[in-house]
Every structure is written in structure tokens, then in C-alpha cells.
């Protein structure tokens, strides 16, 4: 098993920033309590309000996949919160250099 680092940026639909912020905040604590989670932080870009950035670290690819594919809070967001996302600005899976 190898660690996994991910950075994802989600842009809110115009005038839906507060709704998306609320929906994304609801993902943080359940994700942090999942087996294999090392870090799960949510940020908002200072220069681009409504651009939300997740920084995630998982103990393994398997742990992240369980989270993304089977986490009930994630499934709920996919079913009920994605309508507030205009687009995914970026998604990077990172490899540690040092």
C-alpha cells in the first residue's frame, strides 16, 4: 500500500457559493474519521471566492477509493450537492518528491 495525495478545486455556480460551502463543509468531519484518512482539509481561494480546494492525504489508494466510491457522505454529495458545482477546476494526484 502506498500513500495518496490529492488536490481538487471545485468552482461554485454563480450565486450558489454559500450552498456549496455548506455542502462541502459537511464532508470534512466524516471524511477525517474514515479509516486511512491522514488529512482532509477544505480551503477557499482568497482571490477567487467560490473556488473551493480540497487537500487530501490517504494512507493508501484503497482507502481513498473506499472513501470516494462508498462513503455515504460522499454519495449524498454526489446525489444532492453537485448541482452547485459549476465545474471541477482541477484534480491532481500527487507523488511525493521529498
Number of domains in the chain: 1
DSSP reduced 3-state for 98 = coil
Asked if 50 and 20 count as a contact pair (C-beta separation under 8 A), the reply is yes
The CATH number of the domain where 27 resides is what?
3.30.70.100
Q: What is the pLDDT of residue 48?
A: 97
Question: Any idea which residue has 507523488 for its cell?
Answer: 95
Q: For the whole prediction, is pTM greater than 0.85?
A: yes
Domain with 67, as residue range(s), is 4-94
Query: Rounded distance, CA 94 to CA 19, Å?
Result: 29
Residue 1 pLDDT more than 60? no
Per-residue pLDDT tens digits for 11-62: 999 999 999 999 999 999 999 999 999 999 999 999 999 999 999 999 999 9
Asked if 54 and 42 count as a contact pair (C-beta separation under 8 A), the reply is yes
Amino acid at each position: 500500500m502506498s500513500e495518496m495525495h490529492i488536490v481538487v478545486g471545485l468552482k461554485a455556480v454563480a450565486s450558489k457559493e454559500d450552498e456549496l460551502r455548506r455542502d462541502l463543509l459537511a464532508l470534512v468531519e466524516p471524511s477525517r474519521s474514515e479509516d486511512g484518512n491522514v488529512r482532509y482539509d477544505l480551503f477557499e481561494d482568497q482571490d477567487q471566492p467560490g473556488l473551493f480546494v480540497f487537500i487530501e492525504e490517504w494512507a493508501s489508494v484503497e482507502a481513498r477509493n473506499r472513501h470516494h466510491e462508498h462513503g455515504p457522505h460522499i454519495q449524498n454529495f454526489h446525489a444532492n450537492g453537485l448541482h452547485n458545482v459549476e465545474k471541477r477546476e482541477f484534480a491532481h494526484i500527487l507523488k511525493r518528491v521529498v
